[in-house]
Structure 1
Amino acid sequence: MPDDLSTLRARYDAVVVGGGHNGLTAAAYLARAGRSVLVLERLDHVGGAAVSERPFPGVDARLSRYSYLVSLLPRQIVEELALPITLRRRRYSSYTPVGDGGLLVDTASAEATRASFPSAAEHDAWQRFYAMTGEVARRVAPTLTSPLLSRDEFRSLVGSGEAWTALFERPVGSVVRSTFEDDVVRGVVATDALIGTFAAVDEPSLRQNRCFLYHVIGNGTGDWDVPVGGMGVVSGALRDAAVAAGAVIVTGATVTAIDPASGEVAFTSRDGASRAVGAGHVLAGCAPSTLAGLLGTNPAESPEGAQLKLNLLLTRLPRLRSDVDPAAAFSGTFHVNESLTQLETAYAQAAGGAVPELPPCEIYCHSLTDPSILGPSLREAGAHTITLFGLHLPARLFRSDNDGAREAAVKATLASLNSVLAEPIEDCLALDADGRPCLDARTPVDLEASVGLPGGHIFHRDLSWPFAESPDEVGRWGVETEHPRVLLCGAGARRGGGVSGIPGRAAAMAVLGV
């Protein structure tokens, strides 16, 4: 990354706005194809929300501070860019405390999983449902790195009319009620429709269904894997691939305007000077609403995120009420107060303007699968990291008083977690060098300020279906805008969403005319 801005060209084949993982993916593909590429990043580092940081002073723990697991990153992209990353599979899919027992989904033991379900019939329904989603994933995942299919083509590819109706036409809430009898099992399934999406499970728009779909189709399996070394390793590998191919990355560069006709990109550099470069194409790794502002138009939408992210460092794992090994329970997704009824209650309370009384959330322990993110002394002492993702905490609750609302949301969320443990999580918290508990909290408003996510929306805006919804989109890449020179390459593109690199690759393919 050059410090001497005088070495920059007056014009590049492509200027990428934003050095998040998608922007870096686009830069790597274009540079490898021989195009001149400039990446402009507002922060002093690249990676966007896919970074590893040490949030606790004096503590040798490098956490995936924002995004934390990987499912949608296609193996195709890893292979095409020769990314030296390792994604580790988790044996335990999930654990859900229920009274003094719990629902444990063990991918290595069908018998143990069946025994934890409330009935054999409920487990059979679970097996049938996820066999259906698994078959859909196997069929449609390969299309995510190809030009867009029409809706009819995509439906034909799905094949099963039952699967199409369940995933693409009926609200998730209706589907889980008709498929399962148990309220907890219903909720465990439905949570995948609500991660990063503030919606009722029965919402007619089906934006919750789109969220669910992206959570179950990654790489044809829907598995959510642990990035060894933390999420920063993924972005670091993409940065290295882009730079090795000749892309130029400038940090501390705040883009202020884009001329869609000429391709000129104006930005303010780290030294406060106003500068501009020309571009054959401008690839926007920022949110669509942010891009609209840079183009001088009014955003068509105001995205709103709806989550609380907590990072914790523990001296040990907390005790459970059941006899399940905490190492098994916390290595997968640990569901907290996420029955269907609890999800609906929390949504209603948040929609009414209040922090939910019992916020649903889910957690997992990265260090159980990958202890490399901890320093030697922490590993030897038995310390562990906890990542908590709280649902139904929309940005509107934090707008007027972010600090006060954050404190209230953290207090309610920890109380929610403690309600299913055998001891308070606070008793297990490590202390940083200043004697403060190792707890890092991020609201949607914090995400907006720190990593530029409008409204704190982790997907930049509501997810879209992964197929063309108008005739002119068929055969295109889902990144095009009304301006031929300007393309989306971030999570807000069609087939965007979580850490995937798919929009970045799609934008590069559109530029290259593939």
Structure 2
Amino acid sequence: MKDFYDVVIVGGGHNGLVAATYLAQSGLSTLVLEQQSHTGGAAVSQQVFPGVDARLSRYSYLVSLLPDKIVADLGLSLELRSRAVASYTPARRSGRDLGLMVERPEGAATRASFEALTGSSTEYDAWTAFYGAVGSLAEAVAPTLLEPLQSAADLRARVDADLWEELIERPLGETVERRFTDDTVRGVVATDAVIGTFAGLHDESLIQNRCFLYHLIGNGTGEWRVPVGGMGAVTDALAAAARRAGASLVTNAAVTSVEADGVGASVTWFGGDGERTVESSYVLANVAPTTLDALRGRPAGEKPEGSQLKINLLLSRLPALKSGDDPARAFAGTFHVDEDYSQLESAYQAALGGDLPAVPPSEVYCHSLTDPSILSRSLVASGHHTLTVFGVHFPARLFAFDNDAARAEATRRVLAGLQSYLAEPLEDCIARDADGNLCVESKTPYDIEESVGMPGGHIFHGDLQWPWATDDADVGRWGTETDVANLLICGSGARRGGAVSGLGGHNAAMSVLTRHP
């Protein structure tokens, strides 16, 4: 290993690998240091249950914000597969069990499903009008994500003025309540504003609006796709691309300090050979900003607070639904559980007051219906399926006193919510591992912090920011800068970071390449 590199990247998650590949392809000597025994960060596929040949996307699930251009630029061997169904939402009306089915692409069955739920076509017409307008905003914003930051005024000039006010300037709850009347439909729309973000829909900070925007702008379509082979296939492809380009990837390297003065930099880490220090022209930090502060010997800012409960399950079969709908179709998309608009608000208020939500909203993904390759042939043949569940409005504060006890109770409540829409006991459908235990794994924000180093278990490394310059001084910059010219944020904590997108890595690499002689 050399004593000097043009660029050292701290953290081998997907953004660090994206940056490394771009930089190495451009001829810069690049070193990636990853503290875990493997690259990939939170975007990994793992065998979660002992003796069971199923590789689950353990922490991150679907891909939307990863631009097709990055996939092409880096020559990634990667397939992102569309789901046959966008979403399914079980609901009860007048003692009847129904299901709101949204196809992909939407067709006559979607309209019929709205009419069966609401009694008219009004809500579906409002739905198509709203998402048509959102699509125009996505088409305007998506191409700018791989460019230097533009001003809000420039982007505003490209979209309808009323839509900009609705989605960017006023709390999202106002828009949802004005455009829709049905509680379930309102909830399906609003859910994208609170996934991984602890906020009310009328929060004046508009953090919920920012979360909503990021969920709807990926590649200009907002479609969330399943990576074939699991999320680990994404980062395995990135690691292979980085190595092909000539980057050096070192695992089991726990970085202990980062120094940069605008001209030169050094990074120190512990590895199998003890302590080492390497010099570089640039350092890219693929860690949370609060983690970087600690590595620089600075007082860390307030730790971000993650807000989710992640549950991984393996089923021996898909459970039957009370609605009578085909479970293979209902679970093929995002399966919304207790995510009516009023239920989202009730859960938020309960958590804000320090209590576990009595009826916690959640959503369920069955990746194996779209990509059976994550299961062994024998599991596929016997009808097994994976389920990953994302519990909403579970801020870390709820687990601070007793993480184990709170995890157990939160898991019980979330699975009870799913059970309420099933025609048979969920437990009868859950597979067992080699030790005879039910194949159920739960992760609180504290568990996620311990496992993959995300402070506070915050999946975005902190509050999402608008994907444009909110200060005129930032126009033309890349949104990855720190107070030191040769130290850049390249992870989810960068402006336009968050989710499995590669945007932080791409933009930090472009920042280096525009300045490097």
* Fold shared per TM-score above 0.5: yes
Name the counterpart of 1:171: 171
The separation in 2 between residues aligned to 1:200 and 1:423, in whole angstroms, is 34
The amino acid across from 1:115 in the alignment is A
The separation in 1 between residues aligned to 2:107 and 2:172, in whole angstroms, is 26
Matched, 1:216 2:213: no
Superposed, 1:361-400 pairs within 5 Å as 361-400=362-401
The amino acid across from 2:266 in the alignment is E
Superposed, 1:136-155 pairs within 5 Å as 136-155=137-156
The separation in 2 between residues aligned to 1:250 and 1:401, in whole angstroms, is 36
Q: Check whether the contact 2:140–2:155 (CA below 8 A) recurs between aligned residues.
A: no
Match of 1:265 among 256, 264, 267: 267
Superposed, 1:2-401 pairs within 5 Å as 8-99=1-92, 100-117=97-114, 118=118, 119-157=120-158, 159-261=159-261, 262-271=264-273, 273-401=274-402
Matched, 1:511 2:507: no
Superposed, 1:465-480 pairs within 5 Å as 465-480=466-481
Percent of aligned pairs with the same residue?
58
The separation in 2 between residues aligned to 1:395 and 1:377, in whole angstroms, is 38
The separation in 1 between residues aligned to 2:417 and 2:327, in whole angstroms, is 18
Name the counterpart of 1:5: none
Q: Check whether the contact 2:166–2:172 (CA below 8 A) recurs between aligned residues.
A: yes
Alpha-carbon deviations, 1:459-497, whole Å to 9, x = none?
Answer: 000100000111221011100111111000000100011
Q: Check whether the contact 2:309–2:442 (CA below 8 A) recurs between aligned residues.
A: yes
The amino acid across from 1:240 in the alignment is A
Extract unaligned runs of 5+ from structure 2: none
Shift of 1:298: 1.9
Secondary structure, counterpart of 1:408 in structure 2: helix
Aligned-residue CA RMSD (Å): 1.0
Secondary structure, counterpart of 2:24 in structure 1: helix
| Cα 1:513/1:96, change in 2 over 3 Å | same
Secondary structure, counterpart of 1:393 in structure 2: strand
| Cα 1:346/1:270, change in 2 over 3 Å | farther
The amino acid across from 2:52 in the alignment is V
Secondary structure, counterpart of 2:282 in structure 1: strand
Matched, 1:413 2:414: yes
Secondary structure, counterpart of 1:95 in structure 2: strand
The separation in 2 between residues aligned to 1:55 and 1:480, in whole angstroms, is 37
Secondary structure, counterpart of 1:307 in structure 2: strand
The amino acid across from 2:489 in the alignment is L
Aligned residues: 505
The separation in 2 between residues aligned to 1:483 and 1:400, in whole angstroms, is 38
Extract unaligned runs of 5+ from structure 1: 1-7
The amino acid across from 1:39 in the alignment is V
Secondary structure, counterpart of 1:252 in structure 2: coil
The separation in 2 between residues aligned to 1:461 and 1:65, in whole angstroms, is 20
The separation in 2 between residues aligned to 1:425 and 1:220, in whole angstroms, is 37
Shift of 1:155: 1.0
Alpha-carbon deviations, 1:170-229, whole Å to 9, x = none?
Answer: 111111001100011101100000000011111000001000000000000000000001
Name the counterpart of 1:437: 438
The separation in 2 between residues aligned to 1:21 and 1:327, in whole angstroms, is 31
The amino acid across from 1:327 in the alignment is A
The separation in 1 between residues aligned to 2:415 and 2:391, in whole angstroms, is 10
